[in-house]
Structure 1
Amino acid sequence: MPSPAAARPRAAATPAFLALGCVGAFVSGPAFGESPAPVPADPAANDPGQVQAREDILVNGQRDRRGAKDVARPIDTPRSVVVLPEKVIKETGASTLADALRTIPGITFGAAEGGNPIGDRPFIRGFDSQGSTFVDGVRDPASQTREVFAVESVQIVRGSDSTLGGRGSAGGSINVISKLPELADFGTVDLSYGNADYKRGTFDVNRKLTDTIAVRIEGMAHDQDVAGRDAIWQKRWGVAPSISLGLGTPTRLTVAYYHLTTHELPDSGIPYLYVTSNAPGTGDIHTRPAIGDVTLISGETGHVSRDSYYGLAKRDFRDTTTDQGTIRVEHDFGGITLRNTARWSHNRQSFIFTVPDDSRGNVYGTDLSDPATAGGYVWHAAKSRYGYDESVVDQTDLFGKVKTGSVEHSFAIGTEISWEQARKGSYAPTSGQSASVGCTADDIAAGYCTSLFDPDPRANWVNRDASGNPAPIVRNGPASETQNDAHTLAAYAFDSITLIPQLILNLGARYDHFETKQTAGTPATSLKRSDDLFNWQAGLVYKPARDVSLYASYATAATPPNSLLGEGREDNALTPGRGQAAIDVNDLKPQKTRSYEVGAKANLFHERLALTAAAFQTETKNARVTGADGNVDYIGETRIRGIELTANGEILPGWSVFGGYTYLDPVISDGGFTVLTAAAVGDQAAQTVLVPSVTTGKQAPNTAKNSFTLWTTLQATKRFQIGGGAFYTGKQYGGYASNPSATQDAAGVVTIHPATQTLFREIPGYWRFDARAAYQLTDHIGLSVNAQNLTDKVYFTQAYASHYATIAPGRTVFGTIEVTF
């Protein structure tokens, strides 16, 4: 889903934002083929901002498209939900979903590394939500980098919510709402150009064919280098046609298709400076990416510039394709609607990605006796993947309102059935990592290593076979591939019960039967299991006034084994994790999470400004870790507490804001154990012992304690608008390491030597500032200029558990001409 979403004329003088979205909008998003009110014979009727659907409500002056599970107004929903509207996506110049989500406080991002494929990996309230992304309410599981060119809005549900979306969703979920046909004629073309050869074009055309039929098509082409980074480039294109029949009638049908193709040279980031084998000093040692002036173990000091790229332009690549087809049919029975949504999706991804490897201590250095170990080098470690993810999902929903005596029920019930399959393999490039313990002259000449201070991404790297002869890079083949299959049957129900006008009870429950199978090896062997998951949520809303609410809620989530089908970081896989002993698949369990939340919401100025405040605690008490016997056990605990404040809408006419502040206290209460091996001595065989994991008591990875975002625009004159953004994210940790050890004597007595160092792999906090100015030349032609990272700040956006951190682009400035018709 791509780019600054093309704008179109809106209802007069309404530049405000969507407020909090209803939880229900999460599932079905905009009604495909929503039923608008009759279109009057009035010039204003040609303005789609004037055409309101049967399920639409006005929130802060703009439409909030209600979905099947949307059983209450936003202010009457006892959950923390944020809606990121098209207006903010467009004004901030976002071109990807990750760009857009950076305007939401409390969302951070994790990095990729081979087994964890490249793609969107957002963390919500400290929990990985990579597998909890939905498009129009339908799970979109494949690892991918999503665009925004066909996006109407993005809804973020915060807190455990498997009741809404099914498996996973420990910290929350993301629902992408697509642009779909409307009963109006409008069109927009945006063309952008900027530094680093930034080029982007989008179009959005909607046509009303008859009084009940409309078609719409969006398209995008994008081509750029990356400001402040050497060699990196990105290219992609996409198209999204759709047609709706029966608009304005009780029976409606919408057919939609989406395609995205991407090609890029993936960015390998900057390596950390230390590992536990060479970090100087004792105690807690914080290692950051080796950027700026860096001093090695030898005493040599050099400079690592922000554009240093440690990949290989002649080897590395990433290609993806995404295809989705959706059919939605619905019928109104008075105040009740029956809806069926069917979705087919197919995603392919292949890449070879250089991880700037620090694991041998080659960055800082280990000793001075050999130039190969004196530091100042980076391994070109290759991580690779090819494969696909395919799914077919069918959802049926019945929703509406009924009364039982004086009590009003706004309800939704539904079922879901899905089939998913993912198959992955790897390439076989040579990397030379086994050639030596350091970076020798031969390793450098062969392209296996590069200089920390002066890397050459265009080095004459040649792939070689086992005999050292040049050879093409090939796939490892079917014997190394893994296939994951899954089948889900689910039923759910929601009810918002207005007991009295001042008191609303919100209830929801969902049952999932999840079957999964993993097949690998030659001959092929399979692991199978099934899980029955029951999740529920409950909330109570008190209304001291119509536009003010106080609430309290509770919700659960469950993550069964193989939940991601290999399409993300699988903490609860069917196979053992690193350092874990062999397991019986029948001994595995779903990981369960629960959230408690209290909050307040207020809509001011006739619902033009929404203010919210929430305090919450989310906890997992049976996370999968290594137990005291060295086997898999479900004893891990993570507890995250926090507060959230948001302000979305118009402060004064023509002055709008979107943003907020989040504080998190994310703690790994129990990380389980780490296995140590005491080497064999004489006749005594090697023995294993366990010590508490280094992660226990630490800040949860990929989370920031403090985050703040603010995007604001001011309509300075009738034709001139200025805007800007300030974004702060506190320091984050990618992972931790320590150096305990164990030895034994000739009698077999094992001695544990406590760690003398604890390594914190850290990226520092940062402020980023953006700016925008726009001028409307005529009623149909507008000009705008965006400056992202206005101060050219050097900062990092993702911290991997080891090896490297992802560096952000430098200052990016681009101008856009927009033509509407």
Structure 2
Amino acid sequence: MSVNKPHPRQAAALRKRPSTLLNTSASTAMAVSLASLALAPMAAHAQEQKPAAESQLETVKVISTALEANPNAEPGVPYKAKYSGDERHKRALADTAQNIQVLTKAQIEDSGYTDLREILDAQPGITLGTGENGNAFGDRYIIRGQEARSDVFVDGLRDPGMSIRESFATEQIEISKGPNSSFAGRGTSGGAVNSVTKQASTDYSYTRLSTGFGTDKHTRLTLDTNQVVNADLAVRANLLYGYEEIPDRSPTDRERKGLALSGFWAATDKLDVTLDYYGLEADDNPDMGGFLVGTVPKRKPAKDVPVYAQDNDFLSSDVDIVSARLRYQFDQDTRITNLTRVGQADNGYVVTGARAASFGANDPRAGASTITLSTHQGWQEVEYFVNQTNLHLDRVLGGLKHEFIFGLEYSDHSVLNGVYNVANSGQNCITGNTATANNAWCASGAGGATVNGLNSLMNRQISRGAWDIDWNVKTVSLSAMDTVDLNDKWTAFGGLRWDRYEFDTTTISRGLTKRYEYSDSMWNGHLGLSYKIRPDANVYFSYATASDINGGESDVGSSCGYGGICVDDSNGVAIADSKPEKTQSIELGTKWNLMGEKLLLSAALFQITKSDVMESAPSGSGYESSGALNTGKNRVHGLELALTGLITPQLTAQAGVAFMKSKVLESNVAANEGKTLSNFADNSAFAQLKYQATDKFALGAAAKYEGRKYAGQPDSAAGFNADGLYTQPVPSYTVLDLFASYRVNKNMDVRLNVGNVTDKDYYLAAYRSGSFLYMGDARNARVTLNYDF
């Protein structure tokens, strides 16, 4: 029978104070070990006592793994999380009737990845897409074939800004696979991403300083310090500075500056308070990568594309977030939690795109091939307020213990989008057939040679312009959840959520201002049932639903089919007459928590069906806004396998593979039916292995594989031609990374990361026209020195 242990992040009243902890033999061993090693990274574990007749304790064994500040971690297993960071999940992850993939801080650090986009791209079942018009702050995450770029959460609350997201303040990243609306609200058709942040703790004090350097002028400095003021008060700070040129694509570069502060106060034995601040400044001169050339079926990425980014290109995010958490424990079976957050983000970009072209008929070089440049830009101001309250009630009803959670949430999200005034001069070629003067910027001449001064060719003058989309959504949500052990083998979970939202968006296009207002309600639910086939293994079944609103994406206005507002103006159909997009998912899975809970194996069969999908209208339909209401339907089914933890005492692993198929079932364009979804890879896999060769030396490798996919419009068929052949292919790829670490002494260790060891050219995503083809990083090497005070 499973034991319902208190969640490690419950109120301070349920946690023992450090002085009390010292009274236990295991904690005494921990204290002695910490003192003797001067807070060096390790974890001390005391073995159980022998029977009383022995009157002697076994030797305490010190395991040379990093001291784990993450309260959700599995002790002694750096890649395995025991609990979700969202305390609404009442059971350990191994006993949760849902596929939740967790990336721990240790696994992320070993991988060498730092931005959320590159972290998620490595995971099976997740692909990337490009934003509308190459919208750089609209990086798109696609989970099980479903759009998820607006389904990113921080500590359980939606993060509405399309910002650059860094990992320096991240304790673990949780990817919930399948509809997640009962927890997360609107959207979340294929799942959701939740970043669990580093928070202050009264458990112990420590300071870790990390400094990194490497190829491509890579520099990265981080500081993570937690200081216990007394038994009831602690503060924590995380600082970041990072800079690097994009490997093999200089002079494009990335710069990061970050600060995260957290304070914890146990005001009484029943009440504790946590206050957090998160700030990030990210400033890049981005590389938009390559482009596709040729005709199907031989269409492929162009070779030897020069670095065409202009000197004054930029991609920036400036984020400030303040959060307050309160937990009050009425008694052992009743507590209430409240989380309030106020945030703002300023995002902006002016970037250069490139594509293959031919010189026009009026050019003496007519018919010769070249590369032409284009401008893509926009800015975004995000402001949001959210308050979430959860009442946790453990009650015995009908002889069974029910763990109820009743939630109330209010959110107010506002996003103002605009444009920059960009003046370019210095056109150097003619590509239009009717042009009588230079009308384009060519990166190469007729012979293919790169022009001189390429990075200043367009001679840009940039100023901030007017807004064109004012997007606002206010939502009130009520939820109820229950987890109950029916007997010593069966556990059931049920969740129900009601969202009432008010949508208010104004768009300005070609001098015409339109305002769209409507309100509606959505009901969604989640049922899970697990059966324990042995003490360390179970099988489970889950059914979940999700809904998304018309116009749910904040940065695309009335671009119907990209998540913008769909309105049939020509027939007088009001926006309120559209139905929310609906998703249903069924999943059958099994989890095996082996080797004393050190190794978790899981498998899941699933099917997701999305209906009432908003689509772009067919050409010539007469729809003024190019919208079609609730005309689409698609399906994704597949199998996911995963392994996380210790394979042997020396070998740690995280690995997974996804085999999937997608199909458009219904569309307002008949030819779409039967086609695969855009930006969807049938197969993907990831494996990261770390071998502890000696007490001091470890080495590891990570490999990611993603099958071929095809670009196109979200939630619809990948682009294809009159012959039915897909026109925008993104080739499959396999990338290998290596890393190694060495403990110099009790306070210091060093890690080497070599990314893309074989220096493979690979591509993450393509725009539907093929004129953008995001490139993965070329081979790079990084050395990180960690020092513990």
Partner of 1:604: 594
Q: Which of 703, 725, 730 is 1:763 aligned to?
A: 730
Within a 5 Å distance, the mapping from 1:448-487 to structure 2 comes to: 450-451=444-445, 454=450, 458-461=454-457, 472-478=461-467, 481-487=468-474
Is 1:377 matched with 2:397? Answer: no
Q: Which of 324, 332, 337 is 1:327 aligned to?
A: 324
Q: Which moved more, 1:166-175 or 1:421-430?
A: 421-430
Alpha-carbon distance in structure 1 between the residues aligned to 2:667 and 2:734: 31
| Amino acid of the structure 2 residue aligned with 1:331 | Y
Q: Which of 718, 721, 725 is 2:695 aligned to?
A: 718
Alpha-carbon distance in structure 1 between the residues aligned to 2:71 and 2:219: 38
Q: Per the alignment, do residues 811 and 449 of structure 1 end up closer, same or farther by CA in structure 2, a change over 3 Å counting? A: closer
Alpha-carbon distance in structure 1 between the residues aligned to 2:284 and 2:521: 41
Secondary structure of 1:99's counterpart equals: helix
Partner of 1:70: 89
Alpha-carbon distance in structure 1 between the residues aligned to 2:519 and 2:124: 36
Partner of 2:649: 653
Alpha-carbon distance in structure 2 between the residues aligned to 1:372 and 1:501: 80
Is 1:409 matched with 2:402? Answer: yes
Could you tell me whether the CA contact under 8 Å between 2:323 and 2:339 is conserved in 1? yes
Within a 5 Å distance, the mapping from 1:402-441 to structure 2 comes to: 402-430=395-423, 437=432
Could you tell me whether the CA contact under 8 Å between 1:485 and 1:517 is conserved in 2? yes
Partner of 1:687: none
Is 1:793 matched with 2:770? Answer: no
Partner of 1:613: 603
Deviation at 1:117, TM superposition (A): 4.3
Could you tell me whether the CA contact under 8 Å between 2:567 and 2:629 is conserved in 1? no
Secondary structure of 2:378's counterpart equals: strand
Cα RMSD after superposing both structures: 3.1
Q: TM-score, normalised by structure 2?
A: 0.85
Q: Which moved more, 1:150-159 or 1:726-735?
A: 726-735
Q: Which of 667, 672, 679 is 2:668 aligned to?
A: 672
Q: Per the alignment, do residues 194 and 53 of structure 1 end up closer, same or farther by CA in structure 2, a change over 3 Å counting? A: closer
Q: Per the alignment, do residues 649 and 570 of structure 1 end up closer, same or farther by CA in structure 2, a change over 3 Å counting? A: farther
Alpha-carbon distance in structure 2 between the residues aligned to 1:630 and 1:63: 55
Deviation at 1:252, TM superposition (A): 0.3
| Amino acid of the structure 1 residue aligned with 2:706 | T
Within a 5 Å distance, the mapping from 1:54-93 to structure 2 comes to: 58=74, 61=77, 64=83, 67-93=86-112
Q: Which moved more, 1:536-545 or 1:709-718?
A: 536-545
Could you tell me whether the CA contact under 8 Å between 2:83 and 2:92 is conserved in 1? no
Alpha-carbon distance in structure 2 between the residues aligned to 1:217 and 1:33: 21
Deviation at 1:121, TM superposition (A): 1.8
Alpha-carbon distance in structure 2 between the residues aligned to 1:123 and 1:579: 30
Alpha-carbon distance in structure 2 between the residues aligned to 1:220 and 1:34: 33
Partner of 1:811: 779
Partner of 2:685: 708
Could you tell me whether the CA contact under 8 Å between 2:711 and 2:729 is conserved in 1? yes
| Amino acid of the structure 2 residue aligned with 1:251 | L
Partner of 1:301: none
Partner of 1:747: none
Alpha-carbon distance in structure 1 between the residues aligned to 2:134 and 2:109: 34
Deviations 1:72-129 (A, max 9, x none): 2323321111111011001111111122223421111111344744244211111111
Partner of 2:281: 261
Alpha-carbon distance in structure 1 between the residues aligned to 2:14 and 2:225: 20
Deviations 1:365-423 (A, max 9, x none): 48889556524223321111112111000000012422224312122111100111100
Partner of 2:143: 124
Q: Which moved more, 1:424-433 or 1:802-811?
A: 424-433
Partner of 2:242: 222
Q: Per the alignment, do residues 581 and 233 of structure 1 end up closer, same or farther by CA in structure 2, a change over 3 Å counting? A: farther
Aligned residue-pair number: 724
Secondary structure of 1:652's counterpart equals: coil
| Amino acid of the structure 1 residue aligned with 2:476 | L
Q: Which of 715, 722, 728 is 2:705 aligned to?
A: 728
Could you tell me whether the CA contact under 8 Å between 1:35 and 1:248 is conserved in 2? no
Within a 5 Å distance, the mapping from 1:132-143 to structure 2 comes to: 132-143=151-162
Could you tell me whether the CA contact under 8 Å between 2:531 and 2:539 is conserved in 1? yes
Could you tell me whether the CA contact under 8 Å between 1:561 and 1:574 is conserved in 2? yes
Is 1:625 matched with 2:615? Answer: yes
Q: Which moved more, 1:607-616 or 1:653-662?
A: 653-662
Deviations 1:621-657 (A, max 9, x none): 2211256866513121111111000000001112111
Partner of 2:299: 287
| Amino acid of the structure 2 residue aligned with 1:106 | G
| Amino acid of the structure 1 residue aligned with 2:432 | V
Within a 5 Å distance, the mapping from 1:546-565 to structure 2 comes to: 546-565=535-554
Q: Which of 81, 96, 99 is 2:118 aligned to?
A: 99
Alpha-carbon distance in structure 1 between the residues aligned to 2:666 and 2:243: 46
Is 1:160 matched with 2:155? Answer: no
Q: Which of 195, 200, 224 is 1:181 aligned to?
A: 200
| Amino acid of the structure 2 residue aligned with 1:645 | L
| Amino acid of the structure 1 residue aligned with 2:660 | L
Partner of 1:492: 479
Deviation at 1:782, TM superposition (A): 0.8
Alpha-carbon distance in structure 1 between the residues aligned to 2:129 and 2:571: 27
Is 1:503 matched with 2:490? Answer: yes
Secondary structure of 2:88's counterpart equals: coil
Q: Which of 225, 228, 239 is 1:208 aligned to?
A: 228
Alpha-carbon distance in structure 2 between the residues aligned to 1:49 and 1:247: 29
| Amino acid of the structure 1 residue aligned with 2:341 | R
Alpha-carbon distance in structure 1 between the residues aligned to 2:529 and 2:453: 58
Partner of 1:38: 17
Could you tell me whether the CA contact under 8 Å between 2:13 and 2:271 is conserved in 1? no
Deviations 1:510-529 (A, max 9, x none): 00011111123368542101
Deviations 1:413-435 (A, max 9, x none): 11100111100111232468998
Deviations 1:313-338 (A, max 9, x none): 2x421221011000011111222220
Partner of 2:346: 348
Within a 5 Å distance, the mapping from 1:544-583 to structure 2 comes to: 544-566=533-555, 571=561, 573=563, 575-576=565-566
Q: Per the alignment, do residues 546 and 116 of structure 1 end up closer, same or farther by CA in structure 2, a change over 3 Å counting? A: same
Could you tell me whether the CA contact under 8 Å between 1:33 and 1:181 is conserved in 2? no
Q: Which of 314, 317, 322 is 2:314 aligned to?
A: 317
Alpha-carbon distance in structure 1 between the residues aligned to 2:786 and 2:560: 43
Alpha-carbon distance in structure 2 between the residues aligned to 1:384 and 1:601: 46
| Amino acid of the structure 2 residue aligned with 1:760 | T
Deviations 1:524-560 (A, max 9, x none): 5421011201001112111121211111111011010
Deviations 1:566-610 (A, max 9, x none): 279863656458999986323322111111110111100110000
Could you tell me whether the CA contact under 8 Å between 2:85 and 2:155 is conserved in 1? no
Q: Per the alignment, do residues 757 and 580 of structure 1 end up closer, same or farther by CA in structure 2, a change over 3 Å counting? A: farther
Q: Per the alignment, do residues 70 and 456 of structure 1 end up closer, same or farther by CA in structure 2, a change over 3 Å counting? A: farther
Partner of 1:536: 525
Q: TM-score, normalised by structure 1?
A: 0.82
Alpha-carbon distance in structure 1 between the residues aligned to 2:215 and 2:484: 54
Deviation at 1:665, TM superposition (A): 0.4
Could you tell me whether the CA contact under 8 Å between 1:447 and 1:460 is conserved in 2? no
Secondary structure of 2:486's counterpart equals: strand
Deviation at 1:458, TM superposition (A): 3.9
Is 1:243 matched with 2:263? Answer: yes
Deviation at 1:175, TM superposition (A): 0.2
Q: Per the alignment, do residues 505 and 429 of structure 1 end up closer, same or farther by CA in structure 2, a change over 3 Å counting? A: same
Alpha-carbon distance in structure 2 between the residues aligned to 1:337 and 1:52: 27
